[in-house]
Structures are given as C-alpha cells and as structure tokens.
Amino acid sequence: MDEMFSVKDRVAVVTGGLGQLGTQFSSSLAQAGANVAIFSRRPFSDAQLAEKFPGLTDRIRVYEASVTKKEELQAATEQLKKDWGTPHILVNNAGIDSKPDGTAEQNAPFEDYPQHYWDDIIDTNLTGVMLTSQVVGSTMAEARRGSIINIGSIYGMVSPNQALYAYRQERDGVPFIKAVSYAASKSGLINLTRYLATYWAEKKVRTNLISFGGVKTGSFDKEFVDNFLERVPMRRQAEINEYNGVIRFLASDASSYMTGSNVVVDGGFTAW
C-alpha cells in the first residue's frame, strides 16, 4: 500500500507553489520524496527558498515562469528536464481572485464589472492552466505517463451565494458582489479537465480536478466566516494542510484508473 501511494523520486511541477496552498503542496510532495519544481512569476532567491522550505532545498527548486507566458513556461520546462528529467506530475495551482478587501470596482455589481478584471482572472486561472498543460503536459505525453492535477473550487460547480456578502453593504454602505470572473474561470476548468483526460488517455496522461471549499487562512471577516459555516455541514473551514492527502493520492499510482474526475473536498458545502 505504501508503494502504491509513493511519489518518491518523481518530478512534480507546482505552479503558484509559493502561495498559501502551493507551499503546502510543494512541501508535502517534497517530504514524500518527490523533486518539486515551483513555477513562479517572480524571482525567488536561494536564501528565501531555505527560509520558506527548511530542510527541503535539495528537493525543491524555483523556476521563474508566468503561467500566462508560454515562452517562459517552455524555457522553464526545458531547464527542468535538464536538471531532473521529464515531469511526472503537474499541479496547476496558480490562481487569482478579487480580494475580500479589494476596491468597490473589483467587487462591483455585474452590470458595472470592468472587463480588465475579468481578463486578468481568466488569463491566469483558465488560460494559464491551458498553456501550462500544453507545455508540461505534452512532455508527459511524449514520455507516455503523467498526472495533471487541476485546482478548482466549489464556485466552479455552484454560483457564489451573494447573501454571504450582504453584511458588507450593511456595515460599509457599499455593495459587495462576488465577481463573475472567478466562478467562470473555475467552471471552465471542469471541462478543460475532461478534455485533457480524454485527449491524452491513450498516452497514459491522467487529468483530474480537485474542487476545494473554504480554507482557514485568517484573511476573511468574521461575519463572512460565520455566514459561510452555516452552509457547511461539517461546520468548519478546511485546515490549510487538509488538501495534501488528495494531492498525494492523485499524484500517485493509487489513482491509476482515475481520469476526468472532479474530486470535491468541501466539508459538504455542495451537498446541500
């Protein structure tokens, strides 16, 4: 059983691997013996790497590449292949959203929502996954093995419940509307996952999606968290490390007959 779940000496690419969840995924895979290549749009020094991932710097490297720039992804992947070989695992984790404390324009009603915010989020969350999968996934297909893990959201399955945010207008006097772009981008990942799953099935590259629920990060208002938890059967948000197990499962041979799946890990939010 341990061997079935093993990722030892496999090469994993994690986009956005320096963020809150990305750090968890990168650390967990490295601790399990994988060599982890973090694709980051910003440079990251060796000193920063040692501080962020103590004891794991022999297993984690950072390659500067934005998921929205194919030429950067190609250059990073070519260097990675020289360093560690063809990737076995791709975790498409990089993503952005409008901030809970963002401007009124970022969280404007649909009728007034600016296109440039739509473009930014779609470019990163959906087009970025397509481009990274094109570049990294094609090397897996050539090697005839691999696992692509796309990071989705419950808001790719259901529409944001605007009632969760109604307190903002009552408190601040300004309407707060959870924007359409994030939900649209994560919804698009569902069928992109199915497309890649069927497209590369004969080349033994599996593609699956994880739809996450709320994560305890400390960055949300208490009013929002209280409203959200009323709609979660388990009555809590996920701890920041609680998604590592499903990442490991999909990265390993334990999920060898899974492709095109949407694995929902949300404390039961979408069950109601």
Judge whether 70 and 134 are in contact, CB under 8 Å: yes
Judge whether 100 and 224 are in contact, CB under 8 Å: yes
The pLDDT, as a whole number, for residue 156 is 98
Q: Is 169 helix (H, G, I), strand (E, B) or coil?
A: helix
Judge whether 31 and 247 are in contact, CB under 8 Å: no
Burial of 222 (0-12, 13-18, 19+ CB in 10 A): exposed
Domains and CATH numbers, the chain: 11-99+125-160+180-219+239-264 (3.40.50.720)
Average confidence (pLDDT) per 10 residues, the chain, 272 residues: 94 98 98 98 96 98 98 98 98 91 86 96 98 98 98 97 92 90 98 98 98 90 94 97 98 98 98 94
151, 136, 144: which is closest to 39 by C-alpha?
A: 136
Judge whether 24 and 243 are in contact, CB under 8 Å: yes
Determine the angle formed by the axes of helices 20-31 and 244-251, rounding to 10 degrees. 50
C-alpha span between 4 and 125 (Å, rounded): 31
- The encoded tokens of residue 231 equal 């709609």
The pLDDT, as a whole number, for residue 102 is 75
C-alpha span between 25 and 93 (Å, rounded): 9
C-alpha span between 124 and 95 (Å, rounded): 6
C-alpha span between 229 and 205 (Å, rounded): 37
The pLDDT, as a whole number, for residue 245 is 97
Amino acid residing at 132: T
- Tokens 């999606």 belong to residue: 209
**E strands in the chain:** 11-15, 35-40, 60-64, 89-92, 146-153, 205-212, 262-265
- Tokens 């359409």 belong to residue: 180
**Model's pTM, two decimal places?**
0.97
